[in-house]
């Protein structure tokens, strides 16, 4: 009996063709999918979350302003310290000395000579007594400008700054402190007793007699013009104010004080050296373009208590 093996060649051939066709179809579909994916429109980037004010302030942004009710950050701060330092140097080159002092050294230009030295206590007020200099300001400011230009040229490290004209004054007392219940009787004593007999006076500021002064704490230093005409009467007024202060157990004015109007100030202690004091004393500022004298009449004395300025009228001549 003969056994016949059938290989069914036609079936195998068909199966091979089918496999090949399936593979071609699969490859075609994959190509089609790739083409479709490449033709798909790209998704728009997600919108950034609109930051609130606090979030803006917490990030490294500076606020440019407000537009349509939204804060617009205009410059992200650099985090690199070297870049910041370089920027600061370039910025300082473009600024004047006064602006640099204000920004980098954080000096206080307002109320230069009167700084609270004791902690604030409710019901207690810082006070001082002075003569306001509000006449001849144009002449004083012109001299002041020339003084500053010359001294900053000759002593650039000292970096003197103008005192604002609104702060020109002649001090008659140190800073002292009064409790609320003491204010009214103290002012009454000054008016009705200690300064009652003084008449209006004429004073002069001598721009040719300049000196270097320091505040009581010796942390601020001043170039000032001396009081000329009327200085003895100012001394008498100070003596009577001292008597009033003593009656309240308060410190009197500096002994041997030379009355003056401060024009420039600095924090540089080097101004206390003998060379600079001689430089000022030698009147090297005489080319100020002025005649060297500012004369004005004084009809009242000011006493500042807290933020309030009280006036004491002097008797008419």
pLDDT at 147: 84
pLDDT at 241: 97
Same domain, 203 and 249: yes
46 in any annotated domain: no
Q: What is the mean pLDDT of each run of 10 residues along the chain (317 residues)?
A: 46 54 63 58 54 45 39 40 50 43 36 54 91 90 88 89 94 95 96 96 91 88 93 96 96 88 92 88 57 89 96 95
Which domain covers residue 186, as residue numbers?
108-313
10 in any annotated domain: no
Residue pair 107/101 in contact (Cβ under 8 Å)? The answer is yes
Residues 222 and 288: their CA atoms lie apart, in Å, by 18
Q: Which residues contact 279 (CB under 8 A, 6 or more apart)?
A: 154, 155
21 in any annotated domain: no
Boundary residue ending a domain (36, 66, 94): 94
30 in any annotated domain: no
pLDDT at 279: 87
113 in any annotated domain: yes
Please state the domain count of the chain: 2
pLDDT at 315: 96
Q: Is the dihedral of CA 236, 237, 239, 244 positive or negative?
A: positive
Same domain, 62 and 185: no
Same domain, 148 and 87: no
Residue pair 91/102 in contact (Cβ under 8 Å)? The answer is no
pLDDT at 25: 58
Q: Which residues contact 75 (CB under 8 A, 6 or more apart)?
A: 61, 62, 64
Residue pair 202/230 in contact (Cβ under 8 Å)? The answer is yes
């Amino acid at each position: 009996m003969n056994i016949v093996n059938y290989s069914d060649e036609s079936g195998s051939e068909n199966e091979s063709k089918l496999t090949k066709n399936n593979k071609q179809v699969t490859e075609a579909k994959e190509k089609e999918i790739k083409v479709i994916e490449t033709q798909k429109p790209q998704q728009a980037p997600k919108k950034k979350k609109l930051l609130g004010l606090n979030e803006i302030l917490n990030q490294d942004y500076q606020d440019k302003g407000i537009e349509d009710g939204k804060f617009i950050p205009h410059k992200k701060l650099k985090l690199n310290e070297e870049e910041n330092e370089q920027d600061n140097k370039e910025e300082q080159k473009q600024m004047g000395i006064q602006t640099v002092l204000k920004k980098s050294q954080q000096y206080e230009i307002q109320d230069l000579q009167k700084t609270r030295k004791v902690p604030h206590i409710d019901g207690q007020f810082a006070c001082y007594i002075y003569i306001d200099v509000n006449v001849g300001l144009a002449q004083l400011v012109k001299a002041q400008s020339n003084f500053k230009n010359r001294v900053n040229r000759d002593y650039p490290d000292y970096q003197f700054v103008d005192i604002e004209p609104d702060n020109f004054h002649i001090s008659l007392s140190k800073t002292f402190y009064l409790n609320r219940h003491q204010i009214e009787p103290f002012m009454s004593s000054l008016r009705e007793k200690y300064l009652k007999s003084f008449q209006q006076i004429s004073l002069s500021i001598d721009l040719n007699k300049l000196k270097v002064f320091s505040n009581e704490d010796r942390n601020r230093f001043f170039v000032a013009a001396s009081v000329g005409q009327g200085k003895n009467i100012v001394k008498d007024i100070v003596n009577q104010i001292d008597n009033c202060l003593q009656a309240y157990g308060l410190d009197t004015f500096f002994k041997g004080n030379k009355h003056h109007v401060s024009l420039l100030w600095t924090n540089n202690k080097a101004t206390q050296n003998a060379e600079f004091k001689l430089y000022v004393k030698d009147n090297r500022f005489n080319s100020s373009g002025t005649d060297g004298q500012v004369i004005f009449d004084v009809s009242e004395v000011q006493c500042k208590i807290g933020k309030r300025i009280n006036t004491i009228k002097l008797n008419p001549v």
